Amino acid sequence: MRRCLGLSWIAGAMTLCVSVAQAEVKLPAIFGSHMVLQRDAALPVWGWADAGDEVTVSFRDQAVSTKAGADGKWMVTLKPEPLGDPGTMTVTGGNTITLEDVLMGEVWVCSGQSNMQWSVGASIDADLEAASASHPQLRLFQVPLVSKAEIQDDVNAAWRVCAPDNISSFTAVGYFFGRQLQEVLGCPVGLIQTAWGGTRAEAWASPESLAASPEYKPILDTWAEACSKYDPEQAKQQYEAALAKWKEAADKAKAEGKPEPRRPSLQGDPRLSQHHPSNLYNAMVAPLKPYAIRGAIWYQGESNAGRAYQYRNLMATTIQSWRDAWGQGDFPFYQVQLANFLAVKDQPGESAWAELREAQVISAASLPNAGVACIIDIGAAKDIHPKDKQNVGKRLARLALNHDYGMKNIVPQGPAFKSLTVEGNKAIVEFETYGANLISWYNEPLSGFAVAGEDKQWKWGDARIVGPNKVEISCKEIEAPVAVRYNWADNPQGNLYNATYLPAYPFRSDDWKGVTADNVNP
């Protein structure tokens, strides 16, 4: 009997040893069949295995081996590969993972808040766009919405081939951008969607980058205070009390034939909020790095409009934190400037949204390989989500095609403010036109320009184009103008373009204190 027990123990031990020796090698979700790898770039590949296990990654004519570290993590870097036929990647350890239909091409991250998350299915011509979405060389990876207080190492997603039956839920801006690139470049394009509606820029920045600057202490302190005061039991009691009042109001509204009031919601733990600093970086950005990419496009800012001055550096910090994390240098990063929104005002004045648009330009100008696409002409007064995402994608594609793919025959953007000179009662603005002369929208009289004297009182100006890159502005009420603004409003109606019909960027020549200058707390 004792001998049998001994043999059983030995057999069990042998089974355990075999199990350990053949522990599964694993990959993060960003590596999968149908993926696109960035062409002509070093290709990091990483994953997990048991400590000390040898792992080999094979692709095309390359085979690179390494051993998992004490924490079970491993990484290899494949040499750059050019375009070519679809290939197979194998990862071998205690088991073998085979990834089929792997393409080399261009990889872009698509991030931001709701206007980047906004789907093809909710945009203009959704039915036509879906019907024509058979693009086998366009590949899609959609990161789910997850907020975490700690850095995560994986996401629950998978690559898919762009097709009519799966495009409707994907980012519209990202899709139209990627489709334009794929058609012009004639190569595969991989798009990684990681976007969440209503979120703030600080949620997308790395924790290290925010902690490193005293400028962001008000943000961090505000959240620390909110987290310290949160009591789940108290929140539950408050919710139940609010729910009881709501039920009474709902019954009364029903009896009177009125709309039902909005149902209260349970206050969530602020530590897990998607608005909390770095939470989206932790869960929706960090797991993707250092997957080789060409660059990133970004549509966000609405949720930071009340803190536009702060956004100047905050957005630059967010961009730099991504670049530092990826370790791939100053990869291109293109923002979408906020569209026109809210009521049209009949007099010139101040605007938080205008200051946020300015902050986007300032943040991009402070970094290499960064830019901003202007869409000041395709918004809507009563909808913060403009449905025309096709033109947003095209304008982002113009920046990338011109700056990153050497297509200098493509005009990258609309006119931008260059300088102001004053001659008597006339203010003359010179623009950078990027190779396409100034025009007004279908030769209509110019609008959208305001001038001010030393008293800082803004008046609408009479403007006219006086050269391929100059506009002259005057105002009968202002004898000595000192400053000019163009399209400086929530929902401006200016009509200055270049000959490619790309709109001029809103600007101001002054640096007078704005309405958001003192706002630093979320």
Closest CA to 110 of 282, 275, 294: 294
Domain boundaries, the chain: 21-216+275-413, 416-501
Measured CA to CA in angstroms, residue 156 lies from 29, 113, 144, 145, 195 at distances of 7, 19, 7, 10, 14
The model's pLDDT over 477-489, given as tens digits with 9 standing for 90+, comes to 999 999 999 999 9
For residues 242 and 33, which has the higher predicted lDDT (pLDDT)?
A: 33
User: What's the mean per-residue pLDDT of the chain?
Assistant: 94
> Is CATH 2.40.10 correct for 416-501?
yes
For residues 439-457, give the mean pLDDT.
98
Q: What is the mean pLDDT of residues 116-126?
A: 98
218 — pLDDT class (breaks 50, 70, 90): very high
Lowest mean pLDDT among 174-188, 195-209, 255-269: 255-269
Residue 463 confidence (pLDDT):
98
pLDDT band with cut points at 50, 70 and 90 for residue 445: very high
Mean pLDDT of the region 2-27: 51
At residue 397 the predicted structure's pLDDT band, cuts being 50, 70 and 90, is: very high
Q: Is the pLDDT of residue 11 over 90?
A: no
For residue 239, what pLDDT band results from cuts at 50, 70 and 90? Answer: confident
Q: Is it true that 21-216+275-413 and 416-501 share their CATH fold? A: no
Question: What radius of gyration, in Å, describes the C-alpha atoms of the chain?
Answer: 27
The pLDDT assigned to 78 comes to: 98
Backbone angles phi, psi at 459, to 5 degrees: -130, 150
pLDDT tens for each residue of 125-167: 999 999 999 999 999 999 999 999 999 999 999 999 999 999 9
CATH topology for the 21-216+275-413 domain: Rossmann fold (3.40.50)
Is pLDDT of 12 > 80? no
Exposure string over 461-484, b if 16+ CB within 10 A, otherwise e: bebebeeebbbbbbbeebeebbbb
Give the pLDDT score at 259: 86
Once rounded to an integer, what is the mean pLDDT over residues 377-382? Answer: 97
pLDDT mean over 264-270: 84
> For the whole model, what pTM was predicted?
0.92
**394-412 burial string, b = 16+ CB within 10 Å, else e?**
bbbbbbbbbbbeeeeebbb
Check pLDDT > 90 for residue 17. Answer: no
